[in-house]
Structure formats: structure tokens, C-alpha cells
Amino acid sequence: MDPAPDYHRLREQPITKATLDFDGNEVWLVTRHADACAVLADPRFSSDFSREGFPARMTVRPPGPGTFIRMDPPDHGRLRRTIVGEFRLKRLERLRPAIQGIVDGLIDEMLAAGTSADLVRVLALPLPTLVICELLGVPYQDREFFQRCTQVIGDQQAPPARREVVRNELRGYLDRLVTSKRQEPADDLLSRAAARMAEDGIDHDELVGIATLLMIAGFETIANQIGIGTLTLLQHPEQLAALRADPDLVPAAVEELLRHQTVIDYGLRRAALEDVEVGGRTIKAGEGVVVVLSSANRDESVFSDPDRLDLTRAGNEHLAFGFGLHQCLGQLLARLQLQVLWSTLFTRVPTLRLAVPLTEVPFRTDMFVHGVHALPATW
């Protein structure tokens, strides 16, 4: 449940070269907090997968319309600005009652089904899917379709051809949904974005791409954060008891769990557009960079006793949501879901505990996003 111990040694030296197993190419490995911030905040490092030297896992097609996380300025800013207002705290707080209702409903179903469950299947997977559906204005009768789609897309064991078919089905549905929102707007993100298309300088296909990106990006990371975060709390009963006793501790606890269990395990990837000095080393134009967030979040120069889980930790400047230009747009929504879920789950099910030894929990050690494939629990 900790990052590779090699990172501790690597943080004692400047950035270093590493070899990627999947293609044999060399990249710069960034493991320290300050160096991570320097790279992620510098526009001379590109997020475009098609750039020379970019550490991509496979042959990557150009980003589809609206896929702004794989774009550099000016397109990145133009597309991101279209929806940035939807993720401000005041607007998201209006979603809190809906999120609370979703969480209560999922826990009701879990308790009604017996005294044990796989928390990944009954909570971690459906919650973020249903919340994104609420945000986008997906009709209630179509939400089961979205849950099926996101489960296949997030399953690395599913055949690539099957995942591609499901992605296309999802995009086709969202294409039709955007069309309907333009014709009959409602009080939701897609309706408001559709009404501003001309003003914001985006077209129909770009809005469909943005909706698809929100569905996929808003699902896998938060689903795995729920799974691994819940497991971590169950493994620290004294701190969990303190959390139950003091609801005001929940926001700080969420931040600490995000830091301690950073799910973007492989790292954030960049390619240098020109020669840049980082940590006393020169990264040359065309060289790839991997910023290891899980290591930066355990940096001893920033966090006191960083390997210890401390739900009361103050001044938690973690990088779980990245840093700089591409910092996660949905971070406030992610925090809101985690706060509502963990405060509700451990209040309503105070006897919740792991149903198997920790060694029998199937961890996602072979995937881009860290977490658990299943979390057997009982109460």
C-alpha cells in the first residue's frame, strides 16, 4: 500500500534517467515535490501525446475533438474555459444533496442485500458514474447504460476491440444527448455549455468530446480512490474511530488519503519542447518526462513523516490532482464525493471491516491507475 521503496532513494538525488519497460525508451524520472511542480507548471513541457519523445504506451492517434487534457495552448485553454465555471465550489455545492441521495441509495441497496459485499462493485464503481450523469444531465433511465460502459472502459482485461466498441457507443450516445440539449435545454452542464457554443468558440463535435472526456476521466480515478482510500481507513482503525467521532475531520482526512494513496501511480507524462533545466539537470528538447506523483507526495522535505497516515495533517500541499496548467478540473467534485461517501458510510455502517486478510485483496498493480480490483467487506 506504499509507493515503491526505490523512490525514497531517488528523491535523494536530482532527476534521473529511467527506461520504460514497454518500449525500451529512456525518459527523465521526476520524483521530488519541487521538481514535479517545476515541470508541471512550465509550458515548455507538452501534454500532447503526438510530440517527439512523449512517453506514450502505444501508438497514439491525434486527440479527438474536445480532448483538452491531451492538448497544449491555445486549444487547451479554449476548450477548458468552456466548462471551468461548472466546477467552481458554489455551483458544485448545489450537487451535494443529489450526491448524498446517490450515496444513501447505494448504501441502502448494499445493506438490504445481506451482511457482506464487494465495496468496489456496490460503491466505488457506481458512485462516480451516477454523479457524472447527474452533472451532465443524463436521463435517469439511461444511467445503467453508462455504468456498463465505464466498467468495460476501465477494465484492462477487456479485449481492446471491445473497449473501443464501447467507447464509440458512449460517444455516439453523448452526440445524441448534446443534440437534444441544444433543442430542449435543462438545468445541467451540457445544456449550459451548448447554449454558449458560439460565444465560447466551440463546435458540436468538440462539446461531444468534452462530455466523453468528463465521463471517462471522472470515473476511473475517483472509483479507484474510493476503493483504496476505504481500504486504507479500514487498515487504520484508531484513525477511523477519530474520523467517526469528529465529522469536522472529514475534509482533512480526504486530503490526507489523496496524498497517502495517490492513484495516478504511473505518473503524469510530458515531452520537452525545448531545453529546460530541472533539479540541476538539463532536459533536452524531444525528451520524455514522467512525473511520479506518488513519490512527490511522500517527499520528506515537504511532508513530516510522509509514510504515516495522519488524518489531522495540516498544510497538506499534495499533488494528487496535478499542478499547473493541467491541474485536474474536477478536483472539487472528487473531494465532494469522497467527503459525502466516507462520512456517510462509516456512520451508517460502523461495524464495517475487511472480510479477507489484506494479502488476499487483489491490488491493481498492473494498471495505469492504482487501486484494488475488489474490496470484500462485511459488517
Q: Kindly report which listed range (137-141, 283-287, 367-371) carries the lowest average pLDDT score.
A: 367-371
In a domain, 185, yes or no: yes
Question: Can you give the pLDDT at residue 368?
Answer: 75
In a domain, 375, yes or no: no
Q: Tell me: the pLDDT tens digits for 257-279?
A: 999 999 987 789 999 999 999 99
Backbone φ/ψ region at 322: left (φ over 0), alpha (ψ -120 to 50), beta: left
pLDDT at residue 62 tops 80:
no
Residues 6+ apart with CB under 8 A from 126: 106, 147
User: Cell numbers at residue 342, please?
Assistant: 466516507
Q: Look up the CATH number of the domain holding residue 96.
A: 1.10.630.10
Question: Can you give the pLDDT at residue 91?
Answer: 92
CB 317 within 8 A of CB 79: no
Q: Tell me: the pLDDT tens digits for 310-355?
A: 999 988 999 999 999 999 999 999 999 999 999 999 999 999 999 9
In a domain, 273, yes or no: yes
Question: Can you give the pLDDT at residue 152?
Answer: 80
Q: Tell me: the pLDDT tens digits for 83-138?
A: 999 999 999 999 999 999 999 999 999 999 999 999 999 999 999 989 998 999 98
In one letter, which amino acid is 47? S
Instruction: Identify the domain containing residue 115 by its residue range.
Output: 6-350
Number of domains present in the structure of the chain? 1
CB 15 within 8 A of CB 276: no
In a domain, 361, yes or no: no
- Cα–Cα distances in angstroms (integers) from residue 288 to residues 4, 19, 179, in the given order: 21, 11, 39
- The verdict on pTM exceeding 0.85 is yes
Question: Can you give the pLDDT at residue 58?
Answer: 55
- The more confident residue out of 23 and 12 is 12
What would the mean pLDDT of 174-198 be, rounded to a whole number?
94
What would the mean pLDDT of 165-180 be, rounded to a whole number?
92
**CA–CA dist 227, 127 (Å, integer):** 11
Element (H, E) at 259: helix 250-260
User: Cell numbers at residue 104, please?
Assistant: 444513501
Say which residue the cell 486527440 belongs to: 63
In a domain, 379, yes or no: no
In a domain, 364, yes or no: no
175 pLDDT band, cuts 50/70/90, is very high
In a domain, 360, yes or no: no
**CA–CA dist 101, 341 (Å, integer):** 10
In a domain, 17, yes or no: yes
pLDDT at residue 242 tops 80:
yes
What mean pLDDT, rounded, does the chain reach?
A: 92
